[in-house]
Amino acid sequence: MTYQETIEYLFNSAPLFQHVGGDAYKEGLSNTHLLDEHLGHPHRRFRTIHVGGTNGKGSCSHTLAAILQSAGYRVGLYTSPHLVDFRERIRVNGEMVSEEYVIRFVEEHRAFFEPLHPSFFELTTAMAFNYFAKSGVDVAVIEVGLGGRLDCTNIITPDLCLITNISFDHTQFLGNTLAKIASEKAGIIKQGVPVVVGETTDETRPVFIKQAQEADAPIILSDEETFITSSATSSNNTRIYQTKTYGELHGELGGLCQEKNTNTILHAVEQLQKLGYRLSEADVRKGFANVCRLTGLMGRWQKLSDRPTLICDTGHNVGGISYIIDQLRQQPCHRLHIVLGMVNDKDVNGVLALMPKEATYYFTKASVKRALDEATLASLGKGHHMQGTSHPDVATATRAALEAATEEDLIFVGGSSFIVADLLRDKDKLPL
């Protein structure tokens, strides 16, 4: 098979959550353990750091990987979903897994895994762990896919666990209260393994503390001691932090939400240093300042053009969108244009209630089965006093926004990771 044929085989034979949603979700780790045993337990051949939570997992995972790379470690990075190319999910020192490896893995192991009917994520996780072992990584940063307790990444015993925060997302699987969601996310806490928790609430804090105590795991609550005294967006769309430990620290990721993420990451770095990781101040500075270049991260408050300014962000639930709205309100612009699309299993009305009413909207849909129809989204938007037009795809919607905007305007594209994915895939076709 060619690479494209292999990817289509994976998408079609193993249900892909980002395309079909709940039908792709498989509860339990039985397939994961069978695949792991078949491959010779590859995850035992390198050290790991496990990153879970609702929002900020990707930013924290990529930044930790960038810091470790800067310190000279050979670093595996496993994240999801991908935006443009499947291979974004599996990287070593920022380089995507080769097309040849993906083809070879499927050809060599399909006779074993086809009778299991694994989910796409189960199969991809096995592929990633096997690739990291064969690539001789020193350490791999592993992002949880969904939840934690029953996520197929949860067969690892990491050096450190990191849980960013808890917000309402995937409630059909994880529960409809913050405490229930926290309990599922806390399932990655392992016996004796330190855990850093980024943000807590009165509802979630007892859950994390109880789980850590039962596992005799040291717990660090990052929001009880902030390393960040202030932060601001710089003129080149990065973020400058004033910190207690590093003085002025420059971060390549400019999003407002990165202040919380950065505090969490600095606590994680401190714990890794206590565990014997060689991470100098220079390594931390280089990692923060070059995270996108070192790891290939995309879609986090990413600026694609000036005059008009066009920014995209993958925030897709109430917790993530809240930061985006706050940051949009801080941006100097004449008029605000928002290209908006969502998927049908999110809290759509909860997000729409937050959106600025003064903006001009371009309602659209992403090229995945879970995408909410643009006409339906526009109708729901009218109920929230949002005015705009409907467009059949992201490129068409963005082109309409660019045609309507003046050089002093701001265009934001988001609402779903898949809206951003479509934008990045087709950006060369747009007048940017």
pLDDT on residue 57: 95
Contacts (Cβ under 8 Å, ≥6 apart) of 372: 341, 342, 343, 344, 348, 365
Q: At the topology level of CATH, where does 3-295 sit?
A: UDP-N-acetylmuramoyl-L-alanine:D-glutamate ligase (3.40.1190)
Contacts (Cβ under 8 Å, ≥6 apart) of 125: 32, 78, 145, 152, 153
pLDDT on residue 167: 83
d(Cα 224, Cα 354) in Å, to the nearest integer? 28
DSSP H/E element including 107 = helix 99-113
The closest of 141, 124, 103 to 32, measured between CA atoms, is 124
Strands 47-52 and 309-312: unpaired
pLDDT on residue 18: 45
Question: Does the global pTM surpass 0.85?
Answer: yes
3-295 and 302-425 share one fold: no
Contact 81, 417 (CB under 8 A): yes
d(Cα 336, Cα 361) in Å, to the nearest integer? 9
pLDDT on residue 225: 93
- Backbone region of residue 175 per phi and psi (left: phi > 0; alpha: psi in -120 to 50; beta: other values): left
Give the CATH architecture of domain 302-425: Alpha-Beta Complex (3.90)
Contact 163, 186 (CB under 8 A): yes
Would you kindly state where each structural domain of the chain is located, as residue ranges?
A: 3-295, 302-425
pLDDT in 10s for each residue of the chain, 432 residues: 999 999 999 988 775 544 444 444 456 799 999 999 999 999 999 999 999 999 999 999 999 999 999 999 999 999 999 999 999 999 999 999 999 999 999 999 999 999 998 989 999 999 999 999 999 999 999 999 988 899 999 999 999 999 999 887 655 557 679 999 999 999 999 999 999 999 999 999 999 999 999 999 999 999 999 999 999 988 888 999 999 999 999 999 999 999 999 999 999 999 999 999 999 999 999 999 999 999 999 999 999 999 999 999 999 889 889 999 999 999 989 999 999 999 988 889 999 999 999 999 999 999 998 899 999 999 999 999 999 999 999 999 999 999 999 999 999 999 999 999 999 999 999 998
What is the three-class DSSP state of 53? coil
pLDDT on residue 16: 52
